[in-house]
Amino acid sequence: LSSTILFRGAQQLPPGPPPKTISGNIHQMPRVAPWTTFAEWSKQYGSAIIHYRFFGRHFIVLNSVEAALALLEHRSNIYSDRPVVWMYNELAGRGMTVFSVSSQHPHHKIYRRLLQSGLNPRAVQGYQGILERELHILLEGLLNTPENYVKHLRRNAGAVVLDLAYGWPVTSDDDYFVSLMEEAFALHKQVVQPGRWLVEVMPFLRFVPSWMPGAHFKRFAFSVRARMKAIDQEPLKWTKEQMASGNAKDSFTSQHLQPQDGHYVDNNEERMIAWCSSALYAGGADTTVSIMLSFIALMIQYPDVQKKAQNEIDSVLDDHRLPNLDDQSSLPYVSALFKEILRYSPAARLGLPHRVIQEDTYNGYRIPQSSTVMANIWAICRDPSVYTNPDIFDPNRFLTRNEMDPRKLAFGFGRRVCPGAGFAETSVILNIANILACFNILKPVDVNTGAEYCPEISYTTGVTSHPSPFQCRIVPRPRSSVHLHGV
């Protein structure tokens, strides 16, 4: 035993930028696109796995596919916890959400089971009606006001998830429940903002009484707690009222509140169902929008890819119909296009952070217990040892060269892997196949010269990264006049 302790004591942390004695590496943290800085550090320090520290908190970034799979997949029994975010989990009372709950807590398994039952392949087939109705609204929107394409894509993603989760019909662009969900997003963003709250690195501060001067953070967290609780309750209350009056549409919430085996759903179970329902919007809306916006941006930049996908769609369909869910297997290029979007512009570039529950070693490096561990999904997707010419957007890599499936990366890892991956794939492929069937997505035209130009596309920094607003032209193809009405 003593030799094991000696051996462990001798092991080093993975390399990283030199820290200050007390505060660690806070001063070196990039404000934008941290995934690129982490990839540079990985090259600079000659290690796929790097380490940095904020006061006593350790962070490990995995920049290679081998490291990410070795730890987050193959050792997922110890790498599937989530780091504690004191402001969010404790002070704002959100520690029991699907995203935050500890992998050690018995509710984690129950959430995963509930979500799986609502998002498995058979359940996804059952959402065909919702997907097709909302798709039609999206296509009409793109025909009538193509310049508002961001708004149309947002509405589509929000409406699909709210219907699936609660049976709530979104009927206008300024829908009440969508605005509630977006408010929750905005509050979440403030509460978890990296580097903003001292309590994250000095957790003892959470015991400071909230009336004390300087305890603004606590009063803020408590106000968020109250507001988020109210937001959580509204859609649940609405679905329950619909059920009581016999008007409820089938939805994730109604099905679980009235289980087929007829068992009584107590308050505790109802609470768990409610956390899962709200996770559907939190997990599904913004990520889907990110992928759809990247799709539009990439179609402008790679017109040849767009043409190839359109040729495939046109060859499979006769003039009288639009692509449906059953066409997916006849559209291999469109399926490869979906994978290539996930690879080229992963929605969550650093995934979601995991926490390792016990000390571990990898490649001779020590990984301290409770370290936050992140996979640099963006860097792995652009790694030339994994993908040939990784900076070129080319769906053919999955058809002719059989390169690594990016779905194994872009949806996260181990026991936290995205439960909505199959649903996301079905809904995004349906949407992109139909948009390409009905429209050409073209470069914008300079109003002065009349010449086409390629807009600069930049990506936002955040848990989900989106292309920043850019100009484009979405012009109807002949098929759209058969199926869409316009105003």
Query: CA triplet 159, 164, 167: central angle to 5 degrees?
Result: 85
Closer residue to ligand HEM (CB): 71 or 305: 71
Closest CA to 268 of 120, 96, 419: 96
In order of 28, 96, 211, 217, 219, the CA distances from 199 in angstroms are 20, 20, 16, 8, 13
CB of 283 to ligand HEM, least distance (A): 2
Residues 6+ apart with CB under 8 A from 478: none
Sign of CA dihedral 314, 317, 322, 323: negative
Closer residue to ligand HEM (CB): 317 or 428: 428
Q: Is 454 annotated as a binding residue?
A: no
Closer residue to ligand HEM (CB): 431 or 480: 431
In order of 23, 39, 197, 319, 352, the CA distances from 47 in angstroms are 23, 10, 31, 55, 22
φ/ψ of residue 437, rounded to 5: -65, -35
Residues 6+ apart with CB under 8 A from 422: 119, 120, 121, 124
Query: CA triplet 43, 46, 48: central angle to 5 degrees?
Result: 80
- Cβ(348)–Cβ(95) below 8 Å: no
Closer residue to ligand HEM (CB): 14 or 412: 412
Closer residue to ligand HEM (CB): 283 or 390: 283
CB of 417 to ligand HEM, least distance (A): 6
Burial 455-469 (b: 16+ CB within 10 A, else e): bebebeeebbbbbee
207: tokens are 């015991």
3-state secondary structure of 269: helix
- Cβ(372)–Cβ(25) below 8 Å: no
Closer residue to ligand HEM (CB): 115 or 274: 115
Closer residue to ligand HEM (CB): 141 or 284: 284
CA 93 from centre of chain: 22
Closest CA to 464 of 345, 380, 373, 347: 347
Closer residue to ligand HEM (CB): 149 or 295: 295
- What is the Cα–Cα distance from 47 to 332, expressed in whole angstroms? 37
Closer residue to ligand HEM (CB): 47 or 372: 372
CB of 310 to ligand HEM, least distance (A): 22
| Residues making contact with ligand HEM (CB under 6 A) | 98-99, 115, 161, 279-280, 283-284, 287-288, 291, 347-348, 351-352, 410-413, 416-420, 423-424
Residue at 438: amino acid letter: C
CB of 214 to ligand HEM, least distance (A): 33
Closer residue to ligand HEM (CB): 419 or 467: 419
CA 410 from centre of chain: 9
In order of 329, 353, 480, the CA distances from 349 in angstroms are 28, 11, 35
- Cβ(381)–Cβ(390) below 8 Å: yes
- Cβ(313)–Cβ(380) below 8 Å: no
Give the annotated binding-site residues for heme.
418
Give the annotated binding-site residues.
418
